[in-house]
Amino acid sequence: MAATDVPLGAVAPVSAQSAQAVPGQGRPFAPRRYPRLRAGLATLGWSLASLGLFAGLWEALWALGFLNPLLLPPPHLFLADLPATLKYFDRSNRIGSRSEGGGVMPLLATIGWTTMRVTVGLVLGFVGGVLVGALLHYVRLFRNLVLPTVLLLAPISPVAWLPVAIFVFGIGDVPAIFLVFITLFFTIALTTSTQIAAVPVTYLNVARIMGADTRQTFFRVVLPAILPGLFMTLRLNLFAAWMVVLIAEAVGVGSGLGQIVSLARSTFNARLSFFTMAIIGLLGFGFDWALRQVQARMLWWIAPQGGGR
């Protein structure tokens, strides 16, 4: 099979020369300048408008007296005294460590520990799920031995695995990473096996006619065909991964944003609770945005609305 950068079934991009003139018109077509910058600014603008609308409704309900500021403080209240809120954050990753005055750096360190656990768990779950899913499809003996066990374990909630993770790995980062891994692994494995089976036979026949071997067929035909579905599955499970890592941090890690939420609940500190929730929401939004950027660059032949370019 001849080496090519365009996956089978992808539509080749239109050349610059062919886009200079529009049929039926006397003057050349002038493409819009900086389309990516325009699209990025538009996305940013709508995101800020959405957040502003949400915060505005929250503030309006408080101003009208529908919300108790002690239980549901609006943004201007739980963001009013940041130094007092930041004193609960600690830069260390030790259980039982005490904050040394707080500040921006301890906040960033706490965010970093939680982000590390989510990222490592997602990477391991995605790679392991794709590998196991491919083996389930291509190796009959492996499928017969492993698939029943996968189907048995997949419905179990990731939170139910927390005691097992603590028993096996002890207290620390590993239980939280393991829970994120479990959240994604079984879904990715089953999705990979199913989508490989759904790859059009025409693609495989064309690859064989062109002389592709098994490895080339998988990496240049099958994998590009199933990647869009795998990325969508990853995005759908991203927020579930954030949920379970916070639970793991509150119970089995003792540090991170989940531990801060648990502390806020124990001390009935509504300002700290909502401030931490806002940080978690922004991190989840940033993770989803970053994943969409990776998807757009890896799946460059897929148009934003799902059509071919």
What SS3 class is residue 223? Answer: helix
pLDDT tens-digit map of 228-257? 889 889 988 888 899 899 888 887 676 788
| Total Cβ atoms within 10 A of residue 35 | 9
Q: Cβ of 26: how many Cβ atoms within 10 Å?
A: 6
Write the DSSP symbol of residue 189.
H
Distances (CA, A) of 188 to 122, 207, 235, 247: 11, 25, 11, 22
User: With contact defined as beta carbons under 8 Å apart, do 139 and 199 qualify?
Assistant: no
Burial class for 45, CB neighbours closer than 10 Å (0-12, 13-18, 19+): exposed
How far is C-alpha 6 from the chain's CA centre? 26
Rounded to whole angstroms, the Cα distance separating 193 from 111 reads 35
With CA atoms as reference, report the closest residue to 113 among 203, 248, 6, 268.
248
CA–CA dist 274, 271 (Å, integer): 5
Model confidence band, residue 31 (pLDDT cutoffs 50, 70, 90)? low
Question: What pLDDT shows up at residue 178?
Answer: 93
Where residue 128 falls among pLDDT bands split at 50, 70, 90? very high
Q: Quick one: pLDDT at residue 125?
A: 95
Task: Write the pLDDT tens digit of every residue in 175-218.
Answer: 899 999 999 999 999 999 999 999 988 988 888 888 888 888 88
CA distance 291 to 237: 12
Residue 28 has pLDDT above 80, yes or no: no
Say how far apart CA 43 and CA 49 lie, in whole Å.
10
Q: What is the pTM of this model?
A: 0.77
**Residue 148 — very low, low, confident or very high, per pLDDT cuts 50/70/90?**
very high
